[in-house]
A and B are shown apart, each in its own frame.
Chain A
Amino acid sequence: MKKLAFLAGLLGLLACIFVPTLLKNHGIYLFTYWLIYVIATMGLNLTIGYAGQKSLGHAAFFGIGAYTVAILMQAGYSFWLGMPIAALGCFVVGLVLGFPALRVQTIYLAFATLGFNTAVWLVMRNEEWLTGGTFGINNIARPEAFGISLDGNLAYYYLVLAFAVVLGLLLWGLLHSPWGKAFTALRDNPIRAESLGVDIRGYTLLSFAIGAAYAGIAGGLFGSLVQFIDPAPFTVEASIMMYLMVVVGGPGYFLGPLLGAAVGVILPEWLRFAQAWYLFVFGAAVVMLMIYLPDGLLSIPDRLRAKRQSREASAARAAAAQSGVQA
């Protein structure tokens, strides 16, 4: 099974490298958009899928990252300086936001993070001297790397893909280290984890901070992709969409964000044939998905396996009963 997953991952990566070369500009743009959301929801998956913290403020970090990079670039600094600052900034804010998480859990935490998102959004909208208010910041440049301009859509896509792969590998490494085990222990039973010596305070904070840093990086990439940012993509609704992507993809599955972000970003595009009704169809599809696959899309293989095993077990039982009768 491990091998199969690895093979699927490799095929997926090859597809990500070659398919966009066949696409027109809009297709490449969509792919890039999707990958940026994959990066952001990878971080959120760590927070809610692995560490079990209900966070509904992820778009705030996405926005903080985007504005940090954009403002620094406007001030004449390089994209490559802005990126680590955005990531570090989000990491620190994530740590701070983690503190209420130590006091409150589940629903309270969900609303605390949702409130945090509202606050960040209000600052983005109202503090015009810094963020341009509702007019936003435009003419955000695409970066250069090693003297190569990444202005072209395809070139920029490969930059985002490189980010996604590197961040994905980092997350994979983290999850397979003792830290990753501590995160899942925290999710499954915080009190038991504590009694086993897991520092639940530290890990709760860390799960928020790392998730936030991923969102910050994704936000920085997003600013350069769309080249114009205003507060609209960083609302509470956007956070809710990201939460939805993680749960629909499969929380706690490593590849869940790939599918979840596809549902959130690409599915609505496909549904455009339904015209004015496309968001209705999207919402209804999400409800259906949850009813039939409450553990997300990536739980399908597990379900099939469980079904096969129970079928084999009942066949074995029947065979045993049969031989018992004959003997």
Chain B
Amino acid sequence: MTDFLQLFFSGLATGSIYALAALGFTLLWQASGTINFAQGEFVMLPAFMMLGFMAAGFPLVLSFAASCVLSVFVLGWLFKRGVVDPLFKFGMMPIVVATIGLSIAMRNAVRAGYSAEPQPFPNLFPDEVYNLAGVTISATDIGTFVFAMILVLATQAFLAKTVTGRAMQAVAQNTESASVLGINVPRMIFYTFAINAVLAAAAAILVTPTYLAKFDMGSSLGNKAFFAAIIGGFNNSRGALLGGVIVGVCENLAAAYISPAYKDAVALIIFMVVILFKPQGLLGKKVERKV
């Protein structure tokens, strides 16, 4: 039982990081119908931005803030203006391929321009472990989980409670009627991209200390985030949280109890089961087909 709890708690921490990445993914999908295949690279890049700022002498927290600003510019504004806006009207296929190209370019620019070696990354949380009834939990796991939860719930609250957030949801649900109601649609879509960029930077600061900063750290994270988003429900941002936690916890349990070799298949199996019984995801709403 203690083993189980142990695995469960460290799975929660990983899962909350998946949830952060998945949340950005569902936000972009809702607001602009964009499937961002570079989502994992959107986490990798801020990690290297922070390394860059720290190398320039900034402390960690300040580097994080600076990276957030830079992310909003590069991964938010530039990405929206340069890639999504021109391709929006051509449907899904060109955007998918453009973001695939973008992920290849980003990954290899970091490899060629910075380093192919994994880089160590300072931990935001103290290097301590706590013992609770036989279960050891590290401060990193607790901190990661709490920090990620605060971000996810804050994003939720922002979307549900503030005027801007509600306007953003209106745009996601029905772009035309939103613009009839006088909502500035392009600005709301930009906000979504900006939030996605900040969430990615936050995921970067949480995930990098354990997994090290590496040019290809994005690909597996991106995949997990996609599966998490679909398991939870693609058109529901609370689903991203649920999906992320489910994937993180199950993966940890399966690696211990079944086989570490097939750990990466866990997300996939849950995904297959969910999609067969509830194609719209656990919390998703059904979308009517259009003729």
Contact = CB atoms under 8 A, between A and B. Distances in A.
Interface of A: 48, 54, 100, 103-104, 106-108, 110-112, 114-115, 118-119, 122, 125-126, 189, 191-192, 236-237, 240, 243-244, 247-248, 251, 275-280, 282-287, 289-291, 294-295
Given A115-B268, A191-B291, A244 B101 contact: yes
B98 A287 contact: yes
Interface of B: 29, 35, 37, 82-83, 86-87, 90, 92-98, 100-109, 111-113, 219, 223, 226-227, 230, 234, 261-262, 264-265, 267-268, 271-272, 275-276, 279, 289, 291
A283 B275 contact: no
Given A240-B37, A247-B93, A283 B101 contact: yes
Contacts of B107: 279, 283
A283 B104 contact: yes
User: Which secondary structure dominates where chain B touches chain A?
Assistant: helix
Contacts of B219: 237
A280 B108 contact: yes
Given A108-B230, A115-B271, A294-B94, A286 B87 contact: no
B279 A104 contact: yes
17 contacts: A100-B272, A103-B275, A107-B234, A108-B230, A110-B35, A115-B267, A118-B223, A247-B93, A251-B93, A276-B112, A277-B109, A278-B108, A279-B107, A282-B104, A283-B106, A283-B107, A291-B83
A100 B230 CA distance: 15
Given A118-B264, A282-B104, A290 B97 contact: yes
Contacts of A244: 97, 100-101
A191 B264 CA distance: 36
Given A107-B234, A248-B97, A287 B105 contact: yes
A290 B87 contact: yes
Contacts of A236: 223
A284 B101 contact: yes
Nearest to B261: A126
A104 B93 contact: no
Given A115-B268, A191-B289, A280 B100 contact: no
A119 B268 contact: yes
Contacts, number: 132
Contact of A276 (B97, B102, B111, B265): B111
A120 to B, nearest CB: 10
Contact of A100 (B105, B264, B265, B276): B276
A279 B87 contact: no
Nearest to B219: A237
A103 to B, nearest CB: 5
Nearest to A126: B261
A118 B265 CA distance: 7
A47 to B, nearest CB: 13
A43 B36 CA distance: 25
Contacts of B103: 283
Given A115-B268, A248-B97, 15 more contacts: A103-B276, A108-B230, A112-B271, A122-B261, A243-B97, A244-B101, A247-B93, A247-B94, A278-B108, A282-B108, A283-B103, A284-B101, A284-B105, A290-B97, A291-B87
